[in-house]
Structure 1
Amino acid sequence: MDRREIAALLAYIGRLDPRSIRTDEGEARDQLAQWNELLGDVPIATPHGWDARVAARQHYRTSPYQIQPADVVRPWESYRRNRLALHSDPTPSADPDDQAAWTAELVGTRRAVAVGIAQPVQARAITTGRDGINPRLKARLREVGSCIPPAARAALAPYRPARAAREAAVAQGLPDALSVPCEWEGCLAQPGEPCRRRRIGPDGGARGTSQCEPHPSRLDLAAVQQAGQTAQVQQPAVA
Structure 2
Amino acid sequence: MNRREIAALLAYIGRLDPRIVRTDEGEALDQINRWDELLGDVPMATPHGWDARIAARQHIRVSPYQILPADIARPWERYRHDRLARHTDPIPHADPDDQAAWQAELIGTRRAVASGHAAPATHQQLTTGPSHDELAARLSEIGSCIPAAVRADLAPYRPARAAREAALARGGPDALSVRCEWCLAQPGEPCRRRRIGPDGGARGTVPRATPHPGREDLAAAQHTPQPAMA
TM-score, structure 2 as length reference: 0.56
**DSSP 3-state at the match of 1:28:** helix
Confirm whether residue 72 of structure 1 aligns to residue 77 of structure 2. no
Distance 2:121 2:69 in 1: 31
- What is the distance in 2 between the residues matched to 1:192 and 1:111? 41
SS at match of 2:4: helix
Decide whether the 8 Å contact of 1:113 with 1:120 is kept in 2: yes
In the other structure, the counterpart of 1:83 is 83
1:192 Cα shift? 9.9
1:1-239 alignment to 2 at 5 Å? 1-125=1-125, 193=147
State the 1:64 CA deviation: 0.9
Aligned length: 141
The 2-side partners of 1:58 and 1:192 are apart by 53
Shift of 1:126: 6.7
Verify the 8 A CA contact 1:113 1:119 in the aligned structure 2.
yes
TM-superposition CA deviations, 1:24-76 (whole Å, max 9, x none): 11100100000000000000000010000000000011101110000000000
State the 1:190 CA deviation. Answer: 6.6
Displaced runs of 4+ in structure 1, greater than 4 A?
Answer: 188-196
Query: Is the Cα contact below 8 Å between 1:19 and 1:66 reproduced in 2?
Result: yes
Change (3 A) 1:61 1:190: closer
Q: Is the Cα–Cα contact under 8 Å of residues 86 and 122 in structure 1 kept in the other structure?
A: yes
| Offset of residue 22 of structure 1 | 0.5
Residue identity matched to 2:96: P
> Does the 8 Å contact 1:189/1:195 carry over to 2?
no
The Cα RMSD (Å) is 2.6
Tell me the SS of whatever aligns to 1:59: helix
Q: Structure 1 pair 20/119, CA: closer, same or farther in 2 (3 Å)?
A: same
Aligned equivalents of 1:99, 1:126: Cα separation in 2: 32
Using the alignment, how far apart are the partners of 1:18 and 1:95 within structure 2? 56
Superposed CA deviations along residues 113-158 of structure 1, whole A, max 9, x for unmatched, are 111000011113479xxxxxxxxxxxxxxxxxxxxxxxxxxxxxxx
Distance change (3 Å), C-alpha of 1:18 and 1:192: closer
Deviation at 1:107, TM superposition (A): 0.6
